[in-house]
Amino acid sequence: MAIIISSSMSDSGKSLVTSALVKLLRGVPFKAQNMSLNSYPTKDGGEIAFIQAFQAIGAGLEPQRFMNPVLLKPSGSGIEVIFWGESQGNFSPSMYYTIIEKYWKKVRETIQNDMVIESAGGIGEPNFMERDISGFRLVREGIPVVLVLDIDRGGTFASAYGIYTMFPPSLRGLLKGFIINKFRGDEKLLQPAISWLESRTSMKFLGTIPYDDRLKIMAEDSMNIGEMGDGELEVDVVAYPYMSNFNEFHVFSRSNARLRFVTKPSHLSKADLVILPGTRNTRMSLSWLLERGFRDILVKKRVLGICGGFQMMGETLVDPYGLEAGEPSSYTGLRLLPVKVRFQRSKVVSLSRGRSSFGPIEGYEIRRGEIEYQGGDPLLVIEERNGVGTRVMDGAMSGDHAGLSVHGSLYSEGGRNILKEYGIKLEGISLKDQIEETVNKLADVIKERVDLEAIEQIYMDNTVKQN
């Protein structure tokens, strides 16, 4: 009792469909290997891809490590490999593939009979099939596949037929059906192509999902980012290299502001607030900002930094172990806040709660940078990490510039009140509630436009082989 939601390409809607089906089939989300800079802590301090946490929360489940056994986070010095929630260090791609068999053994033992499995990228790529632990390897275990095809970018039926012909004949019968996503127009015009594909493969047409800007989930990668909200104020997020955890800015979809992602200093001319988001590589993102002349305009603007963005706002950043730059180094920050950052070997991965003069702040931390104060007062005190009491000074505010390490904090009372200092008003909704609301809308669309009964039959008509 399991199903794989796959495609011929990235950004086709696999995550969207999986999010809805996890809820509708009362299943468990699973992605064996995900490459993403957006991550989220489990309750026990493990780190998984944000989208698997999103899918779990949307179905009323607690995010857990097994839902994403392997998370790959690209950085300037290789790929950070997160296995079973724990960082294994940075690897080159070739080095990673020398150990993938060890990870596959654990992944295989994890597969359960209630999983809605999302594969990565396109399934059936000839240069990658045998290494594809998120898709093709699982098909070899007898788990059936439904393809989500993006008709907006074209090549829908040709790519689906290509996947079918690239599969070994013995596995083609596991390609059970296909869903057409991002469709606009008269569905009757699709019928000749649908009939053509059905007649030549084992796949059955399962429905269409309309093209609708409102059918969006929190972005998994930078391909999915776009404007949010339609208020009168302008909030600009600087989209530097290795930008991470930018999905938290969906909070601005319910505000008196319009949020957009920018890449040039000139784009900030009308910004009422500039946000420096998290980053997987602080050194490279900071160099990018300085080389393009961002500091000259940031000094004059209202700026909020979060996690890596906050760290770059400091006076100095010290990397004694070469975790960011690949070699030990110390470098000057944007000098907007009186803090110094020192990167530690150990990584903080936690669901966190704290207090500030603006009110309670909660969210999550994923960082190695430790904050040292060169003057001024902390913005907040973190009092709890993963349910355990602590006392950690964090954040800073100086004039129009502020920063803190807690992702998702803008969904909390304290975070909303900080933004009020800049004239930004956010609706009081929690991250959990916004995720659940989004998934409920997706589930309603899937029920209306997709043959859910047929998908449930595919899901039920197989038993995962147990070792």
Buried b (16+ CB within 10 A) or exposed e, 75-102: bbbbbbbbbbbebeebbeeeebeeebee
Distances (CA, A) of 304 to 203, 312, 399, 465: 50, 11, 11, 50
C-alpha torsion 109→139→219→407, nearest 10: 10
Among this protein's residues, is 267 annotated catalytic? no
Host H or E run for residue 118? strand 115-118
Helix (H/G/I), strand (E/B), else coil: 432 = helix
Residue 369: phi and psi, rounded to 5, are -75, 125
Strand partners, 329: 319
Among this protein's residues, is 250 annotated catalytic? no
Candidate list 250, 267, 307, 401, residue with the active-site label: 307
Q: Which tokens in the block code for residue 15? A: 């995550």
Q: Which of 167, 176, 219, 173 is nearest to 455 (CA)?
A: 176
Helix (H/G/I), strand (E/B), else coil: 168 = coil
Active site residues: 307, 407
